[in-house]
Amino acid sequence: MNIKYYFTLAWSDIRNMKDIYLPYGGMMSMCFCFLYIIAYLGTHGNFYSLTKGSIMTLDLLTCGGVILCVLIFILCWTFSLTIRRQISTRQGLYRVLGFSRKNLLLLNACVMIIISVLALIGGMIFCIVFGKLLIMSAERFARQTLIQGITVDMRLMLWISLFMLSVGLVLLVRDSVYIVTHNPLTMLRKEKMQEQPKAKKLTTIFGIVFLGVGYGISLSVNDIGDDLEKIVFAILLVIFGTYCVFKGTGIMLLKLLQRNEKLYYHKKHMITLSNLLFRLRSYAVSMASITILLTMLILTASMCISLYTGVEDSVKQRFPEYKFIINGINDDQQLQQIVKKHHLAIQKEVQIPVVHGAMQVVVRNEELWIGKVNETIKENDSVPALTAITLSGYQNATNTQVHLKKDEVLLLNRTSHPIHTMNIRMENDDHTISIMKKKVRSSDVDFEVFPTDLVLIVPDQQAVAYLDYLFGEYVHDDPGYSTTLSMYRSMNFIGSEDNQKALAADLNANEEITIEDYYTVLDEMMSAYGSFLFLGILFSILFIFSIFMILYYRMHEDLREHEHEYSILYRIGLTKRELSLESARENRWLILAPPILAILHCLMAYPAFHLFASLFGFGKNGFSFMLMGEGCLVVLFVFIVYMLLLQMLIKKKIMTRKV
């Protein structure tokens, strides 16, 4: 036959089954558009010239693009299987009419080509129409201009088209293997036989064990940094366990209920349990997929919103009292001139002389080692960062009075290792090593000026000596070396917010000055987590669309199967009211089971994801349980509404017609 005939027949099939093919093509177009937006931001954004969150924004977009590619492949694979199941009847009819396997292969290839081309064209139209709007939304979340001059990148569209076509090619090869190795006519006959599903004990056990172990790992995590591999393993266990629960445990439970004669032979239960048993066999995979997608949706949306809305509180914790920390200006008059230039006045100031900031030291056997310690580091040693300041600066910052003896130091220890002694390892002029010991007193007062693990407080009269002690060499006796201590200033200013931001920008532009201020840090974090929220919104939209596609295909199958099933039940004596109640009982189980299990997944995953949010620097308030709970309630409400709408459609299209 002429190839034109196959394309004509394929187009006819697509038009006749547009309610199946149209959502699938729409999903591919949407995936094309989202992938283009992320790739466009990653390739055209001049992130290294940005002033806020440049590196993190680029990393988030790159990671999001890779994850989206994997997700696109999984979604296309899953929904093409659903389409395969629904078109098998039509292919069986073609076999009856005389089509060979080769004819079906060519027809299936033509259908795939038409769908792919239409989806790519739709995706390009989405990019042209909505691309600028989405990029502007990303810039609004990031609070800065990511791209100067938004254009249409046809080369990037070509690369994404090749990726989407490669996914379609993989699906075409899989469907071709399916057609060659299976006889659609035989599959039709098997579907009509309606063999009773068997309870698989091994699958049931695996489902319960996988979920139990996954939940246990999530609830027992204490340190997300050390247990990250365990979390990934737990996620995989929960995913596999969910599929096993619906394919094995659900059927086993219905079988056990059937064995209870008093329960099974009740007029409200007999037909319901029998129908649920057959329908669960068909819907187990889709129900498990909905559960996983709902879990991902709730966790992704609630975490992204929690992180974004919690940025300001996190920054306030980082700057609890002072909004500016300035290092590199020792001249008070110079600082006054800069402040007046921006129409500001100093409201409050604390000066802290710093000996040295953020250097690596060694903690071993409850002892702190400083000086020449790099060559002595052992495998089990802890290597924290240390900042050394003077006693007077510490007292000014904490409003305390502390007296230190000559052989004593004060230590603010934020690590989990107790420290009672400090050893100073010095290299002498003849290259021999000498060790000095100091007693360590623990500081009971914490202050947020220096974020290092250890803050060493030394007597003022020994501050210059510690310039040598920290490096393990007597170098500052040389007249060529400066013994002037660096001055850290914690400050607040009186003036408008815009003027304070201008001051921060002016000081940041000076390479000789180090500044950390509330406004710059807030803008950087809002920029980075704005990009995170934008990606979360894109993925959430994709999850929602995927869930509704599964529900749509299920509703399509439900309406078709109910029409045949209830016509038989009506002929054997059931009234239309009884059929309506029967349908409602079945749909309650099939529709509400996935969101309920997804909510259980989220509750069990919350402790681990709460710790994961702490990696982003948001402390105890990183992941809002209330926000996650609200997401769970919204999801449950939406599925209840869907169940009611489906029941209304069944009553309208089936119960009210003549059967």
* Residue 336 covered by a domain: no
* Residue 400 covered by a domain: yes
CA distance 22 to 24: 5
Domain count, the chain: 3
Out of 118-132, 172-186, 293-307, least confident range: 172-186
| Pair (134, 55) in one structural domain | yes
* Residue 524 covered by a domain: yes
∠ CA 319-322-325, rounded to 5°: 85
| Pair (351, 384) in one structural domain | yes
Out of 456-465, 582-591, 612-621, 642-651, least confident range: 612-621
Position 619 scores a pLDDT of 46
Pair type for strands 454-458 and 385-390? parallel
Angle between the 270-309 and 228-244 helix axes, to the nearest 10 degrees?
160
| Pair (151, 175) in one structural domain | yes
| Pair (410, 465) in one structural domain | yes
Residue 49 has pLDDT above 50, yes or no: no
Angle between the 518-571 and 576-614 helix axes, to the nearest 10 degrees?
160
Residue 195 has pLDDT above 60, yes or no: no
The percentage of the chain sitting over the pLDDT mark of 90, rounded to a whole number, equals 13
Most confident of 284-288, 321-325, 417-421, 554-558: 417-421
Position 162 scores a pLDDT of 93
| Pair (114, 130) in one structural domain | yes
* Residue 327 covered by a domain: no
* Residue 539 covered by a domain: yes
What average pLDDT does the segment 308-327 reach? 79
CA distance 81 to 341: 68
* Residue 332 covered by a domain: no
Residue ending a domain, choose from 193, 215, 235: 193
| Pair (164, 216) in one structural domain | no
Position 510 scores a pLDDT of 81
* Residue 35 covered by a domain: yes
Residue 66 has pLDDT above 60, yes or no: yes
| Pair (357, 311) in one structural domain | no
pTM of the model as a whole: 0.71
| Pair (440, 471) in one structural domain | yes
Averaged pLDDT of the chain: 80
578, exposed or middle or buried, with CB in 10 Å at 0-12, 13-18, 19+?
Answer: middle
CA distance 394 to 410: 10
| Pair (558, 602) in one structural domain | yes
Residue 354 has pLDDT above 90, yes or no: no
* Residue 377 covered by a domain: yes
Residue 322 CB coordination number (10 Å): 21
Residue ending a domain, choose from 193, 216, 246: 193
Out of 290-299, 315-324, 384-393, least confident range: 315-324
Residue 370 has pLDDT above 80, yes or no: yes
Domain that holds residue 440: 345-494
| Pair (470, 587) in one structural domain | no
| Pair (572, 475) in one structural domain | no
Give the confidence band of 422 by pLDDT, cuts at 50, 70, 90: very high
Phi, psi angle pair for 197, to nearest 5°: -65, 145
Residue ending a domain, choose from 479, 494, 509: 494
| Pair (48, 156) in one structural domain | yes
Query: 590: Cβ–Cβ under 8 A, 6 or more apart, which residues?
Result: 276, 279, 280, 283, 287
